[in-house]
Amino acid sequence: MNTSIENDAPKRGILEELAERYFDFLRVEKGLSTLTLRAYEADLTKYFTFMHQTGKDSLSGMSIESTLAFLEASERRKSPSSRARTLSAVKGFHRFLYHEGTVGSLEIETLSAPKVLRRIPFVLTQHEIEKLLDQPDESVLGVRDRALLEVDYSTGLRASELCGLKLEHIDAERRFVRIRGKGGKERIVPYGRSAASSLRRYLESSRPMLLKQRISSFVFLNYAGTPLSRVSFWKLLRKHAASAGFPGAISPHTLRHSFATHLIEGGADLRVVQELLGHSSIATTQIYTKLDMDYLLEVHRTFHPRG
């Protein structure tokens, strides 16, 4: 009978104690986000559960054979991307133990992750972006929404970065924002004249009305005068997208993808786009070169006399 992976929490043992040290290392030395740490913790919890169930709850029991058995038992209910993340969590844990001198072998490094097909993100055309930006009305919230959408498209910020933006992060004179992104890495992102005009109008007119004489350092506020949440941003974006006649699949990340794609279409260097997006690896940014190639092929086929 094949061993299955249960969701019950395993009894605490040496593996869990070592895992705590590993997560401290990831949090402090590697600066991984809370979401990534939670995903890794969930993967390793299942790994330890499997080891306990099979009687291999000691360091000597964590062989490549037992790890392979765990991966085989878990892959039946996981997508390739989830399996790749699980293997990354397990390999990282073994690598940490090896460098700490707790285990003497890195045989697990010979295991390779399943190939994951990177999805091409959905983007809006420049004309569609213009249509979206024209949707907010002249009300207090409409002026805020216009500024919010303009700044997001002009900077490509993540939703969390945009909603967490504070007044002190903005240099209005030189038109840039200072962002502390994933892993605590700081970057400078410029924004354009149109975004600057919408932002200035919002800060001078709508924001004081939303504050209602309160004090807040956050730039974008909700009707109660408190910081706008990512969920609220998503909802208002969906509302304006629907009024523009766009599909319901549009999300805050759609503006980020569109920002990057339009830069590359305009001839921007990939390394510059990587820096603006805050990607730690150029491989993550290279997805947009595929988008640009599709655009070039479409233009060639449309306009070339023998296309």
Mapping DSSP onto H, E and C, the string for the chain reads: CCCCCCCCCCCCCHHHHHHHHHHHHHHHHHCCCHHHHHHHHHHHHHHHHHHHHCCCCCHHHCCHHHHHHHHHHHHHHCCHHHHHHHHHHHHHHHHHHHHCCCCCCCHHHHCCCCCCCCCCCCCCCHHHHHHHHCCCCCCHHHHHHHHHHHHHHHHCCCHHHHHCCEHHHEECCCCEEEEECHHHCEEEEECCHHHHHHHHHHHHHHHHHHHCCCCCCECCECCCCCECCHHHHHHHHHHHHHHCCCCCCCCHHHHHHHHHHHHHHCCCCHHHHHHHHCCCCHHHHCHHHHHHHHHHHHHHHHHCCCC
For the annotated catalytic residues, the residue numbers are 158, 182, 253, 256, 279, 288
